[in-house]
Structure 1
Amino acid sequence: MDGQWYQWIRGNVTVQVRGGQPEKLVNGALAGGLQLSSIRWTSSGLMQFELSVDDFFRLRPYLKETGCRVHVASRRGLPFWLVRLSKRKLFVAGILLFIAGIYLLSSLVWSVEVKGNVKMTDERIYAAAKQEGLFPMQWKFRLQPVEVLSKKLLQRLPDASWIGVEKKGTRVVIQIVEATTPERAELENPRHLIAKSDAVVTEIYAEKGRAVVKKNMKVRKGQTLISGTIGGGVYMQTVVAKGSVRGLVWHDYEIAVPLTQQVKVYTGDKKTKWYAMIGGRALQVSGFGKNPFETFETVVHEEQAAWRQWKLPFGRLKKTIMDVRMDERSITVEEARSIGLLQAKSEILVKAGADAVIRDEIVLHEKTDNGKVYMKVSFEVEQSIIEEMPLVHMQGE
């Protein structure tokens, strides 16, 4: 990062070599201490490389020695940018006014954000902050030190055990840690745990209540697994049944996968826009004009200037617009089968729960028709099979 900024400040040019002995020119310049980069042959058969402005003027003796001529293909960096600005005085004045405006705007608190609160409402926290002089559109120099703000907010909000205030540019973040109070256990009505689908029981654990099925038993949807009634006769009582029951459940899926897939391809054509970043605001300095691509993707890369361990309040932002197109790719029947099975398994695990495990799969039917692979597949899944059923009337099993 620091090296890139240094190169940009010095200025950088891309040159193309014509005539003479280009290889001898490059070797001699490198041996003489010149820093050449991106050395390559162009499609038109010309040698091309990049070097700083200082090294460009030191290149003359090597050109005479090898009989080469150079043509400057592009110029980048602060020296060339300043030359262009000197020809546009009104533009420079506008930039200065823009910087002054940005400085004033960056001296304001634009937003106050609250994090960490669950029971306490945002409105209550904002009201307490406003009483201490912290609110949007307040001058930052009028704010109290963050340590003082934290203590005073804690006094106004006794439901919090800790409050931290952090300044992030034009944004202030209030971090809340609420005081913990013992939660009252919710009253639960007596209930059975019943099967939510047909299954073969693989594991049962009754924490509370009475297990009425055993491992390897086949159960039907709605059948009681752990009863909420214990005891018998006059000693019978109802409880809140608790526990876990897992079983093997069969899921049938019909899958259709086309043999022609749409894939995204980058053509290599792109357009780059550069912005100067000052105080969180961006000013475009290059890459003007309309987007030439019908289908495209945009990649944004921000670089903040730094000196040693300190980050400076300015930098640059690069926005790359890449041309893309959608191509069709044919896949084999085996690839289509794998894609379909993978999609079906993903849906099963989402539906059956995070603890579900696919134990087996059976392809019941498969055919290829109209450019698609059709399959009917049955999956054997081990999963939790319990759901609650309120126990309204006392009843035996």
Structure 2
Amino acid sequence: MFLFKLLSFLIGHVSLVVRGESLEKFINMAVSRGIYLWDITRLEGDRVRVKVRLSAINPLRHIARQTGSRFYFQERAGMPFLAARLKRRKMLLAGAIIFVVSLYSLTSFIWFIEVTGTSKISNEAVLRAAKNAGLKRGVLKWNLDTAEFERDIREQLPEISWTGIEIKGTKAIIEIVEKKLPETSENQPAHIVASKEGLVKEVLVLVGNPLVKEGDTVFAGQILISGVIPPTLKEKEIPEQPLSSEQKELLEKESGEPKIVHAKGTVRARVWYESSAEAAIIEQGQKATGKTVSRFGIKIGAKEIILMGKQKIPFKQYKVSSRVKKLPSWRNINLPVEIVTLKYFEIVDFKEERGRAGAKILAERRAMEKIVKQLPANAVMQKRKVEEASAGSRDKNLVRVNVSVETLEDISEKRTFKPE
């Protein structure tokens, strides 16, 4: 398909509107004589639109006379028409040649430098090291020794374990991998705290002092399993009568000091989530059909020249996406030349009647999508409750629902601390 389009562009093709009473005969005779027609579209009345290569126009004239048909040109595209247009505009052709030569010259240099992969090291520090190594804007890219630049950057920044430099067009991408510090030792004191609110269902303690039990309501940040284990001496073992100084000293030795540990364990709890959403019973609007048309051109100053693409957009309604590339400045000289790419997306009006039941199902699905985004991977859904809420008098076309979900999930989260 690409080769066919390329060949059609090089030799030129036209869009014809054929009128007559024997259109089928016209098409059959063209095909039987080896003339390739494409994009055949039936129009109103006794008309049909076809696309054909420029070399087939004269044979089609004979076929039209034999079938009593007539045709006229609707659109011309391809290199021959572009060349003819440029031939009439010699200054434009000279400007295009200068533009291409300038563009090729400017693409021989590095104009943009991008740094990726940094988190602790600043991008400015990497760019400074690259500049010291010789990689900077305006450097001719054909003679770059990327391996030497990578080695120099690593030597200047010891925090880097690996460096890679990739050249893409006029951009140099410096990829950085930082050295990883050893992870926190499990010997460091830590509590297990609640990551969110919930009702405790199960407590499993491997190391540490449990501070909650089944049935307790906890809030986010509350300590569930403490990393501070108190002395083993129970309060009931302490005599109620006053103690002498010797007895107090002996009691302190027997009771000992609290033990500081890295708490381990899990706490599962019942957690509730709520969300609401709404959907229209009858929805109207616009949507894309998937059909697109592209147009490519050059803008010189305020004048835009279309090099490729249709002159007339075939859609009644459409949205436009544009992409403009400007030439980089050279020695503070800004060339007023831009490369413009336009893409047109066809849109159509639509009307969808769901009914109240269908709107309720859609609103429930939207509310559940919001809740699912909040659920952790370990959450197990236990119950779900759906209630239709009043949308108020503001819009009788809307159906609003409230969804509440109960889950059972691990809410434990480690948090280090410094012993007092």
Q: Is the 8 A contact 1:192 1:391 kept in 2?
A: no
Q: Which of structure 1's runs of 4+ aligned residues deviate more than 6 A? A: 267-271, 286-295, 325-328, 388-394
Residues 195 and 89 of structure 1, relative CA distance in 2, 3 Å threshold: closer
Q: Partner amino acid for 2:19?
A: R
Indicate yes or no: 2:119 matched with 1:118: yes
Indicate yes or no: 2:366 matched with 1:343: yes
TM-score, reference length from structure 1? 0.76
Q: Which residue of 285, 302, 323 maps to 2:307?
A: 285
Task: Give the aligned partner of residue 312 of structure 1.
Answer: none
1:238-387 equivalent positions in 2, closer than 5 A = 238-253=260-275, 257-261=279-283, 263-266=285-288, 273-275=295-297, 284-285=306-307, 297-299=319-321, 319-322=342-345, 324=347, 329-363=352-386, 366-367=389-390, 369-370=392-393, 371=396, 372-386=398-412
CA displacement at 1:300 relative to structure 2? 6.2
Q: Is the 8 A contact 2:196 2:411 kept in 1?
A: yes
CA displacement at 1:52 relative to structure 2? 0.7
Q: Is the 8 A contact 2:260 2:419 kept in 1?
A: no
Q: Partner amino acid for 1:147?
A: A
Task: Give the aligned partner of residue 328 of structure 2.
Answer: none
* Greater shift in the superposed pair: 267-276 or 204-213: 267-276
Task: Give the aligned partner of residue 218 of structure 2.
Answer: 221
Among all aligned residue pairs of Structure 1 and Structure 2, give the percentage whose two residues are the same amino acid: 27
Distance 2:13 2:388 in 1: 65
Q: Is the 8 A contact 1:195 1:225 kept in 2?
A: no
Q: Is the 8 A contact 2:192 2:225 kept in 1?
A: yes
Q: Is the 8 A contact 2:20 2:46 kept in 1?
A: no
Q: Partner amino acid for 1:167?
A: I
Q: Is the 8 A contact 2:189 2:227 kept in 1?
A: no
CA displacement at 1:73 relative to structure 2? 1.6
TM-score, reference length from structure 2? 0.73
Cα offsets for 1:131-179 (capped at 9, x unmatched): 33221133334x4233343344444444433322221111011222334
CA displacement at 1:110 relative to structure 2? 1.2
Distance 1:15 1:377 in 2: 59
3-state DSSP class of the match of 1:130?
A: helix
Task: Give the aligned partner of residue 147 of structure 1.
Answer: 147
Q: Partner amino acid for 1:76?
A: A
Q: Partner amino acid for 2:77?
A: R
Q: Partner amino acid for 1:83?
A: A
Cα offsets for 1:81-133 (capped at 9, x unmatched): 11111111222222222223322322221111122233333223222222332
Distance 1:39 1:14 in 2: 10
* Greater shift in the superposed pair: 25-34 or 318-327: 318-327
Q: Partner amino acid for 2:268?
A: R
Task: Give the aligned partner of residue 175 of structure 1.
Answer: 175
Distance 1:36 1:118 in 2: 58
Indicate yes or no: 2:160 matched with 1:163: no
CA displacement at 1:53 relative to structure 2? 0.9
Q: Is the 8 A contact 2:82 2:307 kept in 1?
A: no
Distance 1:94 1:21 in 2: 48
Q: Partner amino acid for 2:365?
A: L
CA displacement at 1:261 relative to structure 2? 4.1
Which runs of 5 or more structure 1 residues have no equivalent in the other structure?
Answer: 303-315
Q: Is the 8 A contact 2:190 2:414 kept in 1?
A: no
Q: Is the 8 A contact 1:256 1:340 kept in 2?
A: yes
3-state DSSP class of the match of 1:59?
A: helix
Residues 100 and 137 of structure 1, relative CA distance in 2, 3 Å threshold: same
* Greater shift in the superposed pair: 247-256 or 98-107: 247-256
Cα offsets for 1:39-83 (capped at 9, x unmatched): 232123212211111122333443343333322221110101111
Distance 2:312 2:51 in 1: 28
Q: Is the 8 A contact 2:109 2:140 kept in 1?
A: yes
Distance 2:366 2:196 in 1: 24
Task: Mark the structure with the bigger radius of gyration.
Answer: 2
Q: Partner amino acid for 2:173?
A: V
Indicate yes or no: 2:159 matched with 1:137: no
Q: Is the 8 A contact 2:279 2:360 kept in 1?
A: yes
Q: Is the 8 A contact 1:195 1:220 kept in 2?
A: no
Distance 1:133 1:116 in 2: 21
Q: Is the 8 A contact 1:111 1:136 kept in 2?
A: yes
Cα offsets for 1:323-353 (capped at 9, x unmatched): 6577665543223322333333333344453
